[in-house]
Structure 1
Amino acid sequence: MKNTISISIFLVLIFISSCNEQKGKLEKSVIEQAEETQEDKFYLNCKKKSINGIEFKACIKRPGNFTIINSDKKLVYEHEDNPAEFEFSDFNGDGFSDILLDYFTNVPGIKELLIFNPEKNDFERIVGFTNFPSAIKIKGTDFYYSYHRSGCADNNWDSDLFKIIDNKAIRFGNIKGIGCGIDNENGIYINKVNGQKLEQIKFTPREEGYWDGKWEFIEKYWTKNHNKFE
């Protein structure tokens, strides 16, 4: 009889202890959720992404900066200028998600690029990337090309060939389209780039006006000829 009572008391104590433990966890969870809610009221937009086995949370905060923290709540990146929007995207095709930051500008397609570093498990800003709007990677290569309007209702335009080297966007080539100039200036100029110097290697005249076939021309030219600019 005494053994039965002792066992019953022991089981009751275990039950009470378990209830207290669950209550403590619940209270802790409620407190943490309240703290997170209090903190998140300043965030306009937050997105989470699991990369290399680690969850990252990127947020636009006003007032404040654009920030990225990991699952240990460690700040791994901070950007003073808040973007209008951002997205996780494997821009360089290495299998890890990067981050593209969008801004309100007069030139469509201007973005900041943050490349994920899988060795450090953090993000690194690519210097000079904003010089290459609407950038597209050439499949199977380390090259990218961009496009931007250069005036006259998009009759004048530029496309630059570039690489990302040591976290810098470096220009190697340029295609300049002019369709709004003096008659003998209208055409397609293809240039090799050496630092800030342009060396014209080809000129093809064309008629004045908007050229809707330029998109296909740009893609095909850079895809076929990018190695000539190294």
Structure 2
Amino acid sequence: MNRDAFFHYLTVTDPRLFPNAMTDAQRSGLEAKLDVWAKWYAADHPITFLAAALGQIYRETGGRMEPVLEAFSPDRRTAAERLQKAFDAGRLTWVKTPYWLPDESGRIPVGGGDIQLTHCRNYVNAEEKLRDKFGISCALSENYDLILDPVISAHVAFAGMIDGWFRPCKLSDFVRPDGSLDYRAARDIVNGDGAHIGDEIERNCSIFEAALRAGEAYGG
């Protein structure tokens, strides 16, 4: 893949996602994801799957393109406090039971990563799936903050969307007969808010797909 062409597309040809240029942190975050994809996923999956993941990650990280904690907080306790405040103010109407309270382990399972992973069961599931699928050993169930590791987080985002870890659907469910991917509908893999932000997700993913094709990513 020609990464210079990829980054040139995102910052010069169509800079809508990075209108003020790209920071070193954003570039580093993207480089880490491209490295993981090239080594573990590229041979078996089309670049539309990578574009879909990058477009979702852009939304989930607020454009930072690196793993974050929920509410862009510096630590889990602060994230929990911010979520509780928003919940008390009635701004989290879709939340029935607060998931940011300390769990049975005493840890705080707020969202973290490139794709926000919440709840103890999901950290345990990710740890088991990464071990079984790739032979990767990581103690996510014992240390939730390992989801902030760029490599682990990229794996959770990619494998989670490809295999359907987050919700009862996966990327292959949204492949059209012509081989293209319905990016808007695929938002449902991460969250059921596609009716509200579908246009944004489709824009994000389409821009990343174009950039990947500009870089002749992994055979196009």
Q: Which has the higher contact order (CA 8 A, sep 6+)?
A: 2
Same fold by TM-score greater than 0.5: no
TM norm structure 2: 0.24
Instruction: Give the structure with the higher percent helix.
Output: 2
Instruction: Give the structure with the higher percent strand.
Output: 1
TM norm structure 1: 0.23
Structure number with bigger Rg: 1
